[in-house]
Structures are given as structure tokens and as C-alpha cells.
Amino acid sequence: MRRLAGHLGGDLGSAEPAHILRVPGTWNFKYAPPRPVALARLEAEARYNPIDFDSLLPAEPLRESSEPRFEAPEVIVAGARNSTLYKLGRALKSKGLAEPEILAALAAANVGRCRPSLEGREVRAIAHQAATQPDRPAFSDRARRRNFTVEVWP
């Protein structure tokens, strides 16, 4: 679907099954109020195998990750503090930083960007979770392939 969307100049954000297939008997929550999904037409003999389209589309460029890179906002508001600091901690872990380094960075971001700041014990818990959470295989492989130098400031 991503290859088809890219080839046709479509929205890559919509290249997922939920955007192109509404299952009859379910609800379409795109509208307010939600609408029931009904089968409008069925041509049972018209069947296609996705592999049939493979030779018609250009290959999708290889990317390191399908997820967008994390960027911390200038101001981290209440309600987003924990999740944003956790994402920052995981991003730092992927760069090879250890828990004490992650904690130092999260503590600085907490003081400098969070409105209001979290308590120190919460920041320590987030840093610990970010540093010790088991990695997905792709996450670990990317982290091992990178060779980073970490400078520690006095």
C-alpha cells in the first residue's frame, strides 16, 4: 500500500488497511455520529492477489525505521510530561546512553521544558523504565549498529 500511495502521489499516512477497508457490520467512526458500515456491492468473482501488482510498482526505498524520529517539544505540558520524557529516554537509549546519562538528560529536560516540572522520583522512575525496558529486535539491532561517542560535561 505504501508503494502504491507513493507511486500515485497519495498520502503515505493513509497506506494502512484501516484506511482502505471498512468491514461490513462494523462502525465507521470517521463521522459524528458514527455510521454503520454496509456492503454496497459485491463482485465475488473479482478477486486479486496483492502479489499480482508487485511488478507494476517501483520498490519502496529502504528506511531505517517506519516510525518518525522523536523530537522533544520546547514546552512539555501536563498530560504529556511522562510519555514525552519516556520517549526521550528511549531515544537516548537507542543512541547507546546508560541509565545515569538518561536520567541526567531527563532531569534537565524536566526542569527546562516541563510545565509544571515532575517530581524527581517520577523522573527517576521514567529514566529507569526507559533504560531497562526490553527492546524490540529492530530497536536493539539499530542501537548495536551505531557507534556513538558520548561527551560528559563537568
Cα–Cα distance between 25 and 37 in angstroms, integer?
6
Over the stretch 90-142, which tens digit does the pLDDT of each residue have?
999 988 899 999 999 999 999 999 999 999 999 999 999 999 998 876 554 44
User: What pLDDT does 49 receive?
Assistant: 82
**C-beta separation of 123 from 87 below 8 A:** no
pLDDT over threshold 50, residue 146: no
pLDDT of residue 80: 93
Pairwise CA distance, residues 101 & 81, whole Å: 19
**Dihedrals phi, psi of 104, to nearest 5 degrees:** -60, -45
Q: Which residue has the cell 536493539?
A: 140
Residue with grid cell 465475488, as numbered in its chain: 44
Asked whether the whole model's pTM tops 0.75, one would answer no
* Range ranked top by mean pLDDT from 14-23, 43-52, 114-123: 114-123
Instruction: For 76, list phi and psi in degrees, rounded to 5.
Output: -105, 110
| pLDDT in the model for residue 125 | 96
3-state secondary structure at position 51: helix
What 3-state class would DSSP assign to 137? Answer: helix
Q: Is the pLDDT of residue 148 over 70?
A: no
